[in-house]
Structure formats: C-alpha cells, structure tokens
Structure 1
Amino acid sequence: MMTKNKRNVLIITGRYLPGYKDGGPVRSIKNLVDYLGDQYNFKILTCDRDHGDTEAYSNVKVHDWNQVGGAQVYYVPPKGFTFRIIKKLASQVDLVYVCGCFSDYAINTLLLKRIGLIKKPVFVAAMGLFSPMEFRLKYKKKKLFTTLFNLTGIFKNIHWSATSEMEVNEISQQVRTYGNFIIAEDLPRRVEDTPINKRKEEGDLKVVWISRIAPKKNLIGAIQVLKRVRSNIEFTIYGPIHEPNYWEECQAELQLLPPNVSWTYAGNVESEQVVETLREHHLFLFPTLGENYGHVIQEALSAGCYTLLSDQTPWQDLNKYGAGKVFRVDDIQRFVNEIDGYAQLNHEEFSSKTKDVIAYVMNNNKLKVSGTGYHHIFGRGVVQ
C-alpha cells in the first residue's frame, strides 16, 4: 500500500534485486531506494530473472507486487513489458522514471508518452549510454534508434536525468533535446565508517579488478598494465562473464603474464558482499572505457583500496585527496609506474594511505547525498 502524501514514482528498469549480474544499474536503483525510500513511494517494474538466466527468481511473485526493501517491485517475464502493463502502472503514480532508452521497456514507455497514453511526467535516465565509447558499441543499432526517435519526436515531451554536465553534452550530441535536463548524480552505497586493518609487505601488492566482463570495462587493458609491472602481484578478478568471447581473449592474455604476477578468477560476488570482499585487497585497477558513475569505484574506495582509473569516469579528483590516480586509458606506463611505486610501500606507509582513501570516500558520500538532484526530479508537479 502506498503511503499518503508521498509522491509515487514508477521506476522501469531491466533488472533489479535479487539480480546482481547487471552491476551498476541495479546498484543505482537500490541506493536510490535505500536513501530516499522514506520520502517517496517507489514502485519498480522489472524482469523476473537475472541477466542470461533462463528461469525466474524462485522467491518472487510474477505479475504481482513484491515488497523488496523500501520498494514495491512488480516482476514480469522477458518480453513482458507490454504497452498494457506499462500504461496500467503509469496511471497509478505521479511520475515515471525509465532507465535507458534502447531496451524494449524504454521504447514502449516512450511511445506511450508520445501518443498521449501516459499523462504523467516521464524521465529518461541516460545510464551512461551516450558516452562516446559506450555509444560506439552496437553503434549502427543505436544510431538507427536515435535517428528514428529524432524524426518522430519521441523525445519531445520527456525529461532527461543525467549524472553530470558532461553526460548532458553527450546526450545532446546524439538526440534532439529540448533543454529538459536535471542533473542527479548516482547515490553511493551506504557504507559504515568502520576501521580497516589490512596487512601489506613491502614489494608485494594485492591488485583487484571487479566489474562485468565485457569490452567496455577493459579487463584486457588492466592485464596489459600488469604485463609490465616488476613487483610481486596477486591479481584477482571478480565479475559475471557477460561476453564469453571477450573472456576468452582475456584468458589468452592472462596466460602471458610474467612469473611475478599470479592471477585468479574468483567468479561473481553477491552485491551485498562486494565491499567486504574488496577489503582483502590493496589496490583497485580499473582502466574502464567509460562510466557515468562507477559504483564499483565507490565500493572499492569504501573498502580502503587505493584506486587507479582511466580518465573516462566522473572520479577525477582522486589524486588531490590521496585516494588514487587518474590516467588516460592508453597511458599504460603511468599505470605501471604507479603500481610498482605503491607496491614498495611498507605497512605503516600503506596504512596511512588507506586512511586517506577512507576519508575521501566518506566525505564524497556525504556531499553526494546532501546535494542530490533526485529531489528536483521526483518533486516535479503536484500530487493530485
């Protein structure tokens, strides 16, 4: 039952809990519910199974509402995002928030809005889909969609939710927009400020990579960096295999690592165990090709991992606060030099660095939550 006087928000997304294989998008919505679920009535329409699974979740009711944390969740099978169900659920809320614009559920929502069958405001969360490197993946399909959408005015009566001015510019390069943007940075995972006691020996380093195993996340780039390091490295890889052919390429490159670098693929990590798992490692290496937020980055920092990133994320100030470094994705030698330098820290020096990392991420979390743009999105209009 929806609470009186709270605005009712329908979020339409491809995957949600208990799924975890889609990584950031699931985490984005969960964090939103965790922080703002006491201020808004969140209702979520989503698929009844995780990415790549052939069976529905065993513990949910399909075609019905389920209480999941602070939200009501309505699960449908694949291809179940019909015009009828979207129209029905949209009529019960004050605002519709749809994640992305290329999936079937997003296209159906946009079409319903265009022909006037959804009367409520519709926001489209860009979800990083328009970053240059991301848009390049399946470029022909995406370009066809955006061209058709522009010609038919699909985007005319919707609003955009973007995570930064950079993302606003990226969207504007691909679609005809009408200035209907609100910037709302992704909210961080709730993390307790608890002491982190890691051991480290001089000359040794535990390096971790965690994300979906797909070209955009650039695991191969991380491997290319580790091929050149001279320190003793334990390299651990976590994450679901989204593209098997790409994983085969990664495995071939892993076999070429030098003797001073040992590696392990440790499989998937349940979402709620990510931070605890990462606490076992010293440094997070993530030369990603593009993130509109990067939940794994926030999670690695929360676990006290010094973080090395490409310049394709919003996390541009790590060096200023001693929490890590940001390099161009193709500047492999600078990644190498930083890893070798960090490996030489003794335990006392390393512990001091870890405190800097934790101080940075806790302050960053507070700033993001206190100034969130989601209130501007969900507060639009008047509750009838």
Structure 2
Amino acid sequence: MLQSGALQSHASKKKLYLTFLRWSGLLHKSTWHATDEQERLDILNRITARTIVVVVPDVPLISSQKIRQLPKEEGSLRLLYFSLIAEKKNLLFTLELLNDPALKGMSLDIIGPIKDKYYWEKCLNYIGKMSNPERITYKGEIHPTQVEEVLPLYHALILSTQGENFGHVIIEMLSCGRPVFISDKTPWQNLNEHQVGCALPLNIGLWRQTMAQALTWNQDAFDQICQRSRRYYETAFDFNQIRERYIRMFVPLPLHDHSVVLTYDYFYPDFSAGGPIASLGNLTQLLRNEMPLRILTSSYHYRKGQFMEGIALDQWTVWQGFPVWYASNAWSIIRTVLGFKKGGRTIFYLNGIFSIRYFLIPLILCVWKGYRIIVSPRGMLQEGAMKKGRTKKQLYIAVVKGSRLLRKVVWHATDTQESADIRQRIGPGAKVFVISNVPVKPVETVSLINKAPGQLHLVYYSLISEKKNLDFFLQLLEHPSLYTVKLDIIGPVKDGSYWRKCQRTISQMKHPDRIRYLGEIPPDKSMELLQQYHGLVLPTLGENFGHAIVEMLSASRPVIISDKTPWNDISVMQGGFALPLQQEKWIPALETMLDWTYQDFKQIADGALLYYRNNFNFEKLKKEYIEMFSNVAS
C-alpha cells in the first residue's frame, strides 16, 4: 500500500494519514515486514529512514500437481485476466490491446471481484464497442480451492498492472506450468530471460508485437514454454528457507532489536577512497535481511575535498535501502552517536583507526554511553601501511592503548596476517574475529576477448599511490621483450607527487603511447570494463584484501600481483601469478602471458573464476558475520 501506484488514489488523504502516524509516536517501536526490496525502500522513504524493516517474501501457492496438457494451435490463444477489477490493475489497457485486428485470434476470460464499479463500467463500455466483443467473457469470482483446476484451462495469464507488491496470481499461473504476460511494475522482472512470458513496459505497441508472436506458438513451442514456466516457479521459491525466515521474523535473533552502526570516513556515492568503501558496501548487501544496519560517514568527497553533490546533509537519508547519515562536521557526528539508546543494544562497527572524526570521537562516545564496539583496522596496521608517518602512527596507537579506550573492544581481522598485526600492535590479549571481506558477486556471463601470441592488454585498477607501486611495473615495460604489452591505468590519484613520478617514467619510455590513463570509473561499470582486458596487474607493497584483485578474478580474468597480498596461493592455471617484487621474476611471467594463445587464455580465465568460487562462499560468510555481531550483542 506504500507503492507509488497504490498511493495515487486518494493521495492527499493517504499522505496526511501517514504524516499523522509518523508524528504520533505510535510507530516508534514497530518492526516492519516488506515482501521485497522495493517495498523495503517504500517503507524507508514514506515512514522514516531509521525504520527497522525485515524482508521476507510472500508465501505463494504450494503446488505439487503435474502440468496439464492443453491443445494449442497457431493463430489462437486463450488468455486469462485473474485479479481484482480496479483502475490499478489496468484491465482497460488489455482490452485496448486485444481490439487490434492482428490479435483477433485471442480470447479473454475475466475472473475476479469488482472492486471499482465505475472503472468496470468503463471497461464494459469499451467491450461493447470492440469489433469482436464476444471474445471477452466475464466469469465472476472463483473460490481459492478452484484455482488449480481453472488456471490450467488457459494458455497464458495477462495482467497489465500499474504495480504489484507480489502478484500471487502471477506465481499461481507459473506454478500451473503456464506463461504470463505482465507489466514491468511487479517484482518478476526476469521473465523474458527465462522465456516464460514477458514483463513489459506499458507501451501498447510493444505489447502488440509480443502478443502477436505468442499467437504463432505451435503445440511443441507451447509445451516447452509450459515446462520452463513450471521450472521457474520451482527454482524461484525455497519453501524451507521462506519458513525459516518467517520464524526468525516472529521469533527474532538477538540482533533484530539492536542498532548496528557502521562508521568510516567515506562511503558511496563517493567510491574514490578504494577498498574500505567496497568492503562496507558489499557487507551491507550481504546482511541486508539479517540485522538493522546504519551507516555514519562524511559528506565530503575523498579526492575533491568538497561536499558531494545530490546528498542530504546531517540527516538520515537512504542509500540502496540503508539509512545513511552524511555528516558535515564533528558536531553532527557527536549528535548522531549520542542519539542512540544507551547501553548494549547499540553496536558500533568502527572502520579504520587513524581517523579522529570517524574512529576516535565515536570510540570515546561509545565507551561513555556503554555501546558495544567492533573495530576493523582495514589494513592500517599492516607493516606496509605503517611505513608512511610511522612515528606519528606509533605515538597515536600508544596514546589510544594507554587511555584504556580499547579495553572492551572486539576486533575484526579479514585474514590471519591482520589478526597477527592487531595482536602485535594492540596486545596479545586482543579478542579478534577473523572473517574475510565480502567480495563483489561474480560475473553472470563470461565474455572473453581475442588473444594471440605477442598480444597482451593489461589493466592497473587501483588507487595511484606509492604503496600500490605502479612505477615498478612501468619500468618493467621497458624490457625489449615486453614492448608490445599495453597498459591502461584506472583509479583516482591519491598521491600527486607519486603520479608525477610515474608520468615522467612514461614520458621517457620508447613507446609511451601504449600506456593510457583512463581516470576513475563507477563501481557499477567496473565488471563490464574489466572483461575488456587479458589480466590485472598490481605490484602492491601490501594489501589487506585487494578488492581489485578479487573483482578481476570474479570477472574470469587472471592477475599478476606481488606476494604482499592474501592471495599467494594463486597459480598460473588458477588465477595467475603472485610474485616477489623482483624484475627477474616478473619479466618471465609477462613473457609467458604474451605467448598465450586464445585457448591458453580461455583455460586460464576459466581457472581464475574457479579460484574465486573456491575461495568465497557467501552463505558461510553471512553466517560468520552474524555470529560475530551476535557474540558482541550478547
């Protein structure tokens, strides 16, 4: 009922009613149930961004019946409209569609209660003016127990709705092994790719074209579509999982009544600060249905040093379904941290340790208020990361340790090396959970590019700073055997003086035109772009995780990287090369890559994706993160 389509009727009254509910305080302790991600966003937008929302899908008809055969001849199609008769369901659009002479072989039975008599009168008037009105029949209502008997009598369902929260009749039709033709205003957007009907924009020309094609189905084609429709239903719903999620909603885990607040200096839509932003973005997506997450971050752009455009400052706003507070100053941070309930029902997950505003201030306030605290250093305690400004960093750590602010902190390390770094620099008694970062999801369809011996197009995809060691690789490319290697550099310039050093190296090369700097790219474009290369290069001095490495592997591309990352078990047939930072090691590896044929490249690309899949289990990761937060909560 909070959908835009549902709010169109009596919009003013409904908005006034919602305003009253918000300000009355009646919803203060409510937990909301959304049946899909869109409804979750509707709730957050129309109630408040701090609302706790549990997403559990509706329970569809549980069907075990076999697909019933139905005769189908080319040029005929028996359609069913099975829903309420109301303006939102848009029956009139369907009637206008069927009035096209090219679709005269279609008949339509209308089943459902009349909710809007005025709208039904409009439909009846239109039917009376149609060229073949006898093709349209109103059958009244049927009892729910008759659904599985009636639906298989039709070739397809048609529902040009203006919006559905779930669309039970759509699922019921698919469960009977029948295709559906629906608008794109429902959760079922992927019908086209599964070839079980169509989800179309409300463009009558597009619908005419699609329905005319359906008229041409013969018996064999129709039977195959029916089989696919049933399979779609069976794979879309795991009833055991749905049952478990409802049980967890009604008998919640300890975390469901907690506030879990993630802090870091930068967050989307700014992506230029590198790995930690990707880590937090992926983590929120993984845990979106498990606990009420909130994000406290800066309103400043990492590289530009100015306010990001198009975001609301110093208030709770929504990013992809999550409440985010973009703070413009230190007072805004203090005010937000102090705004949560005092005591153990608030968990702060602090990311990074060298930030005054997003680590030290929240840490002090959390200790004072009695909040639970998890700290993830995000690689900042690594030996490589400590090199720059070592004296200041060591003094800072000593002061924070001496203040006893870390006494009750729980630490999150993303690998065993980071766990060792924490215990070395904080203390051997530190309580540490070791859980991998959450990677990007793998590519759905692998797209390979041409590869011939003597041809190699690589990408450097990372921040440009001394730690990432780009200059090392640029110098390698001056070796005569590597003159045909091309390199594209993608990423924000973090260290201007280091980038100028790299530019000087490029300008002095014999073939500088084979090196290109492409600037930054948004995360939603990265997967498509990375598949345009033969591999990733990253001679880094140290990585806590290396999101770019993992993302390249997930795109089914090999990597050539230093041995200063967690991915040292990569091999040429499964992932690529992890090498010491010695030219005599890197040059032969690059020569090997140059010599690859297309078949070599395909085999190694397949191995890269296999390596990724062997290393990441999203359900296992989810369980481990839930256990960490639950342990801290209890």
Task: Please list, as runs of the form range in 1=range in 2, the aligned pairs for 1:228-307 lying within 5 A after superposition.
Answer: 228=479, 230-231=481-482, 232-259=484-511, 262-307=514-559
Q: Are the equivalent residues in 2 in contact too, given 1:282–1:304 (CA < 8 A)?
A: no
The CA deviation string for residues 168-204 of structure 1, in whole angstroms up to 9 with x for no partner, is: 1112222235331111110111233312221112101
Could you tell me which of 614, 617, 620 is aligned with 1:370? 620
Unaligned 5+ runs, structure 1: none
Q: Distance in 1 between matches of 2:326 and 2:438?
A: 24
Q: Distance in 1 between matches of 2:592 and 2:291?
A: 47
* Cα shift at 1:369: 4.7
Q: Distance in 1 between matches of 2:509 and 2:321?
A: 45
Higher Cα Rg: structure 1 or 2? 2
Q: Are the equivalent residues in 1 in contact too, given 2:462–2:491 (CA < 8 A)?
A: yes
Q: Distance in 2 between matches of 1:208 and 1:229?
A: 20
326 and 81 in structure 1: CA distance in 2 versus 1, 3 angstrom threshold? farther
TM-score (norm 2): 0.57
Alignment correspondent of 1:327 = 579
Q: Are the equivalent residues in 2 in contact too, given 1:130–1:167 (CA < 8 A)?
A: yes
Alignment correspondent of 1:220 = 471
Alignment correspondent of 2:339 = 88
Alignment correspondent of 1:38 = 289
Q: Does 1:132 align with 2:380?
A: no
Task: Please list, as runs of the form range in 1=range in 2, the aligned pairs for 1:178-197 lying within 5 A after superposition.
Answer: 178-197=429-448
Q: Distance in 1 between matches of 2:332 and 2:468?
A: 28
Q: Does 1:2 align with 2:52?
A: yes
Q: Distance in 2 between matches of 1:314 and 1:167?
A: 10
363 and 80 in structure 1: CA distance in 2 versus 1, 3 angstrom threshold? farther
Q: Distance in 2 between matches of 1:139 and 1:346?
A: 46
45 and 319 in structure 1: CA distance in 2 versus 1, 3 angstrom threshold? same
Q: Distance in 2 between matches of 1:103 and 1:3?
A: 31
| Overall identity of the aligned pairs, in % | 23
Alignment correspondent of 2:315 = 64
Which residue type is aligned with residue 119 of structure 1? Answer: G
Q: How many residues align?
A: 379
* Cα shift at 1:81: 5.6
SS in 1 for 2:293: strand
Q: Are the equivalent residues in 2 in contact too, given 1:214–1:243 (CA < 8 A)?
A: yes
Which residue type is aligned with residue 377 of structure 1? Answer: M
Q: Does 1:13 align with 2:264?
A: yes
Q: Which moved more, 1:355-364 or 1:102-111?
A: 355-364
Q: Distance in 1 between matches of 2:557 and 2:291?
A: 34
SS in 1 for 2:53: coil
Could you tell me which of 360, 375, 378 is aligned with 1:107? 360
Q: Are the equivalent residues in 2 in contact too, given 1:10–1:42 (CA < 8 A)?
A: yes
SS in 2 for 1:144: helix
The CA deviation string for residues 229-279 of structure 1, in whole angstroms up to 9 with x for no partner, is: 613111100000111111001111122334397100010011111121111
Alignment correspondent of 2:427 = 176
Alignment correspondent of 2:326 = 75
* Cα shift at 1:80: 4.9
Which residue type is aligned with residue 300 of structure 2? Answer: R
Which residue type is aligned with residue 109 of structure 1? Answer: P
274 and 43 in structure 1: CA distance in 2 versus 1, 3 angstrom threshold? same
SS in 2 for 1:3: strand
SS in 2 for 1:190: coil
Which residue type is aligned with residue 107 of structure 1? Answer: L
* Cα shift at 1:78: 4.5
Q: Are the equivalent residues in 2 in contact too, given 1:227–1:256 (CA < 8 A)?
A: no
Q: Are the equivalent residues in 2 in contact too, given 1:42–1:70 (CA < 8 A)?
A: no
Q: Distance in 2 between matches of 1:369 and 1:333?
A: 41
The CA deviation string for residues 89-109 of structure 1, in whole angstroms up to 9 with x for no partner, is: 474953110001110120112
Q: Distance in 1 between matches of 2:633 and 2:538?
A: 43
SS in 2 for 1:379: helix
* Cα shift at 1:20: 0.5
Q: Distance in 2 between matches of 1:30 and 1:145?
A: 28
Q: Does 1:161 align with 2:423?
A: no
Task: Please list, as runs of the form range in 1=range in 2, the aligned pairs for 1:131-150 lying within 5 A after superposition.
Answer: 131-150=382-401
Q: Distance in 2 between matches of 1:245 and 1:79?
A: 30
Alignment correspondent of 1:346 = 597
337 and 149 in structure 1: CA distance in 2 versus 1, 3 angstrom threshold? same
Q: Are the equivalent residues in 2 in contact too, given 1:229–1:339 (CA < 8 A)?
A: no
The RMSD of aligned alpha carbons is 2.1
Q: Are the equivalent residues in 2 in contact too, given 1:233–1:261 (CA < 8 A)?
A: no
SS in 2 for 1:380: helix
SS in 2 for 1:187: coil
Q: Distance in 2 between matches of 1:81 and 1:279?
A: 42
SS in 2 for 1:9: strand
Q: Which moved more, 1:199-208 or 1:373-382?
A: 373-382
Q: Distance in 1 between matches of 2:336 and 2:593?
A: 53
Q: Distance in 2 between matches of 1:335 and 1:276?
A: 27
Q: Does 1:207 align with 2:458?
A: yes
Could you tell me which of 373, 380, 392 is aligned with 1:122? 373
Q: Distance in 2 between matches of 1:358 and 1:12?
A: 32
Higher RCO, 1 vs 2 (CA within 8 Å, ≥6 residues apart): 1
TM-score (norm 1): 0.93
369 and 238 in structure 1: CA distance in 2 versus 1, 3 angstrom threshold? farther
Q: Are the equivalent residues in 2 in contact too, given 1:156–1:177 (CA < 8 A)?
A: no
Which residue type is aligned with residue 287 of structure 1? Answer: P
* Cα shift at 1:224: 2.3
Which residue type is aligned with residue 170 of structure 1? Answer: D
SS in 2 for 1:59: coil
SS in 2 for 1:216: helix
Q: Are the equivalent residues in 2 in contact too, given 1:87–1:117 (CA < 8 A)?
A: no
